[in-house]
Amino acid sequence: MTEQQVSRMLKRAHQQRNLLNSIKRRYDNIRKISGPYGADPSMPPISGGEDKDLSYTLAATEEQTTILAKTYYKELYKMRTLEKEIYDLICLCKNEEAKSVLIDRFINDMAWDDIAREHNYSRACVFDYRQRGIQEIAKKSKNFKKSC
């Protein structure tokens, strides 16, 4: 794999996690709308169709939450598969500092500033370790087979 391919794979994990978070927020918002204490006026209305009967609205809410739950678990499976591939790639890196930075960012989903603070590095140093790790992985991953 080239450095660009390794970098794209790592970025894909971050994007997949953002997608999961977005689905979860949407699911939580729908559940909040249909909660036991009534609708939250700050949330968008859910239409049950032409009929204004509450049962249609509740049915539409349940249908949306079911669809979102299925989507969430499908995307979660993709995320776990991708995380395993990324972890296998990161294990190719022998530089412990670079490996730690990559794991914190792409497996543990930490922000760059949090990684710098936890490791007592500057932000520039964190990005340097990230780049060193990607370069080392690219050199050692010539025979690495992607399962995607």
Which parts of the chain have pLDDT scores under 50?
37, 147-148
pLDDT score at 29: 83
Please, are residues 21 and 33 in contact by the beta-carbon 8 Å criterion? no
Burial (0-12, 13-18, 19+ Cβ within 10 Å), 125: middle
Residue type at 52 in one-letter notation: K
Tell me the two tokens of residue 3.
Answer: 């450095």
pLDDT score at 44: 58
DSSP per-residue string spanning 42-59: TSPP----SS--HHHHHH
pLDDT score at 129: 96
pLDDT score at 30: 80
Stated pTM of the model:
0.73
pLDDT score at 137: 94
Please, are residues 36 and 129 in contact by the beta-carbon 8 Å criterion? no
